[in-house]
Amino acid sequence: VPANAPLASTYFNLRKTTIYGGSNEVQRNIVSQFVLG
């Protein structure tokens, strides 16, 4: 995700990952990777 991507776009991309990934732990890992870089 580019640094200048709109927050809404990022949120919806993360939501899709939650739906297809299936687990909260996967979601947490993705969010932490996004936040930490």
What is the full per-residue pLDDT of the chain (37 aa) written as tens digits? 556 657 677 777 776 665 665 677 777 888 888 888 7
Tokens (6 digits) for 4: 């200048």
pLDDT of residue 18: 56
**Cα atoms found within 13 Å of the Cα of residue 13, Cβ hemisphere only:** 11
Tokens (6 digits) for 7: 């927050």
pLDDT of residue 21: 56
- DSSP H/E element including 11: helix 7-21
CA dist., res. 19 & res. 22, Å (int):
6
pLDDT of residue 37: 74
